[in-house]
Structure 1
């Protein structure tokens, strides 16, 4: 009588596999799951001393992230990896490099003479820490995406066959568990990148129906670059893109630092709000403007050194109630703010050129920051689309 053999014979990591499958559904973050998995592998009898998990991510600033766990750690150490890493010695010839080039397994005996092994600073570093064996495999996600998982031990003789079998048993389940968390994080990152942190939270919480929204009282800032049509017509395309990115960095970073939310970039302009339910919102808007003007002055000084003309811009600021929510067609929505207060801020930005001021504020806004900030009264002026003249102030901070 033939007794069928088990397709997946028992391994030391079976309990870890069961935990990954059934015990992680309430854990949101993959770094916490990874660290707990390493601890459980140790408790199962696998002599794990160090492990890393490398993932590629879709982020405007970072190529990927590395989670690192070592014996005695309760949480994984997280390091972000920039896009230039592939040109540096720390990457060239590394396990990550080999995996991206198609390797399906790496195993390095760290006890033997270094001259006989793979040549990379990482292996020398692990030897210096007393590690004896190193194993690495790709972690496969859907649509051919490959990430990297590594394990190292300080056990004399390294991992034995049962240890390797147990580690391999974990990989497919970890791939499923990690892909769900990474894609959740990716969705959040992409939304934060394209619509802002607050709007992204509302969208992820279910605010996706057209016409839904809330009324928010906020300070509104609209900024626009001067003479951009001339610049874009006469400059090389790549120079125009670099210019816009530098300009938006100068403007955006102070806004985010002081609690504002950029809702959209409109060509060479931007729209941001500072909700008044946040303490000191109007003062924070002017602090952001001060730092943005300083950053633009520094940018113009750098551009002057390369023969480029200085960049000029105008900023309009108003305060009022806005409708904050989903506007658009049945299949394509924009999460933004609308209302007369937004229109007023836009009109004030347009008036900056006519009145020769860089920053114009409405009286409604000025009353909320005086006398904390010194403002220049520039009189009453007709504003297109509004029946009564509007009293305006300039800010030179």
Structure 2
């Protein structure tokens, strides 16, 4: 192949592959350029391990004339027979290049090779993608050319891989940053931080429905159970809420021991407050059912759980608050304080779901008037509502 054509591809990737808007488009264009330059590629794969709580890694697979296929692998893949009996397992173990001629009877009988032979692949080479700080990822290259890749074509692939690794590393680092921000501060907050809202005092006001919940009897639970068991219980308990909150448009901002603070933004210009509050109430009903069904075997006993959630509506201050260079992206304001007070009232009344008059007044949901209550720190008493379908627990 022409050395200048290869260098153009390398320069294009080093410059950020600007003609490709997405990683999948970059992979398609890169492979097509290599084919045009004289490397007869058939199936190409890029395999990147990720820093994600649920996803071990991602694979990107290209074939001529088709869309790049993106797949996620969970953490169990490391122990799967398919991975253990694969050339990539060898690459990760040795951190070195792996190559096999598939028309050689002595080549290993890997399951992936059976599929490739059906496609009439003749040669397979896996080349490490080395990040700057040392982690190893992988690329695989195959051809249907008779006799496999030539020495010149293999040299071209080896030259292209460092530029590919730099591109993949940059994209991976950005994805990792977004994943970590999404995991630890929430999606909307993460977007704002990545967008440059990182200085103390960078805040904005937002109209939102506020969710503040608490696990009943958590102090006693923590006192009589081992810490590891308590953590496991909390994870199961939060699972009962977070999936419902996110499915109905909310964002979890903070965990506070057994407490959870979430917000459901309201676009006041669209006038969707009633719709948002209806979704919040539906999430609360789903969480109530999930927590009620939750049981945790411990020793000879089975732990059962109850929680309370306060729902309110109001304006909040949303942004960076903290001291020195340690900041927290959170929300504050009288509306958040009132929600916290309402959650305590829910506990005193042995109720699961309570709402302020502002929330209940805009969200038809079968509310029962529980009366007016003085609120610490507020000049006026607040009328509190509970669900008609709920019998207060003893």
Q: Could you tell which deviates more after superposition, 276-285 or 168-177? A: 276-285
CA distance in 2, matches of 1:125, 1:233: 56
Q: How big is the shift at 1:250?
A: 0.9
The answer to whether 1:359 aligns with 2:349 is no
The answer to whether 1:88 aligns with 2:117 is no
CA distance in 2, matches of 1:165, 1:12: 14
- Of 304, 311, 322, which aligns to 2:305? 311
Give secondary structure in 2 for the equivalent of 1:90: helix
1:305–1:13 distance in 2 versus 1, CA, 3 Å: farther
Work out whether residues 30 and 182 of structure 1, in 8 Å CA contact, stay in contact via their aligned partners in 2: no
CA distance in 2, matches of 1:180, 1:33: 13
Partner of 2:250: 260
Work out whether residues 12 and 46 of structure 1, in 8 Å CA contact, stay in contact via their aligned partners in 2: no
Q: How big is the shift at 1:35?
A: 2.3
Q: How big is the shift at 1:140?
A: 0.3
Q: How big is the shift at 1:79?
A: 0.6
Q: CA offsets per residue over residues 120-156 of structure 1, 9 Å max, x none?
A: 2111111122111100011000221110000011111
CA distance in 2, matches of 1:304, 1:379: 39
Q: How big is the shift at 1:90?
A: 1.2
CA distance in 2, matches of 1:312, 1:324: 30
Partner of 2:94: 102
- Of 70, 81, 86, which aligns to 1:78? 70
- Of 244, 262, 280, which aligns to 1:285? 280
Aligned-residue Cα RMSD (Å) equals 1.9
Partner of 1:298: 293
Q: How big is the shift at 1:95?
A: 2.2
Q: CA offsets per residue over residues 327-349 of structure 1, 9 Å max, x none?
A: 00120111111001001111111
Q: Could you tell which deviates more after superposition, 99-108 or 132-141? A: 99-108
Give secondary structure in 1 for the equivalent of 2:83: coil
- The 5-angstrom pairing of residues 133-172 of structure 1 reads 133-172=123-162
Partner of 2:338: 344
Give secondary structure in 1 for the equivalent of 2:133: helix
CA distance in 1, matches of 2:297, 2:266: 36
- TM-score, length-scaled by structure 1: 0.92
Partner of 1:6: none
CA distance in 2, matches of 1:126, 1:236: 52
CA distance in 1, matches of 2:115, 2:237: 42
Q: How big is the shift at 1:375?
A: 1.1
The answer to whether 1:19 aligns with 2:12 is yes
Work out whether residues 28 and 181 of structure 1, in 8 Å CA contact, stay in contact via their aligned partners in 2: no
Q: How big is the shift at 1:72?
A: 1.1
| Count, aligned residues | 383
Q: Could you tell which deviates more after superposition, 386-395 or 232-241? A: 232-241
- Of 36, 42, 55, which aligns to 1:49? 42
The answer to whether 1:239 aligns with 2:229 is yes
Give secondary structure in 2 for the equivalent of 1:135: strand
Q: How big is the shift at 1:230?
A: 2.2
Work out whether residues 95 and 136 of structure 2, in 8 Å CA contact, stay in contact via their aligned partners in 1: no
Work out whether residues 29 and 181 of structure 1, in 8 Å CA contact, stay in contact via their aligned partners in 2: no
Work out whether residues 16 and 167 of structure 2, in 8 Å CA contact, stay in contact via their aligned partners in 1: no
- TM-score, length-scaled by structure 2: 0.92
Long gaps (5+) in structure 1: 1-8
CA distance in 2, matches of 1:246, 1:180: 35
Work out whether residues 211 and 261 of structure 2, in 8 Å CA contact, stay in contact via their aligned partners in 1: yes
1:260–1:306 distance in 2 versus 1, CA, 3 Å: farther
- The 5-angstrom pairing of residues 184-203 of structure 1 reads 184-203=174-193
CA distance in 1, matches of 2:144, 2:90: 23
Long gaps (5+) in structure 2: none
1:86–1:298 distance in 2 versus 1, CA, 3 Å: same
Q: How big is the shift at 1:12?
A: 5.6
Q: CA offsets per residue over residues 197-228 of structure 1, 9 Å max, x none?
A: 11111111111110121111111000111122
Work out whether residues 11 and 162 of structure 1, in 8 Å CA contact, stay in contact via their aligned partners in 2: no
Q: How big is the shift at 1:23?
A: 5.7
- Of 350, 370, 375, which aligns to 1:383? 375
Q: CA offsets per residue over residues 306-337 of structure 1, 9 Å max, x none?
A: 84221111101111111011100120111111
Give secondary structure in 2 for the equivalent of 1:104: coil
Work out whether residues 304 and 310 of structure 1, in 8 Å CA contact, stay in contact via their aligned partners in 2: no
CA distance in 2, matches of 1:305, 1:367: 46
CA distance in 2, matches of 1:79, 1:160: 30
Work out whether residues 45 and 62 of structure 2, in 8 Å CA contact, stay in contact via their aligned partners in 1: yes
Give secondary structure in 1 for the equivalent of 2:82: coil
CA distance in 2, matches of 1:306, 1:86: 35
Work out whether residues 378 and 392 of structure 1, in 8 Å CA contact, stay in contact via their aligned partners in 2: yes
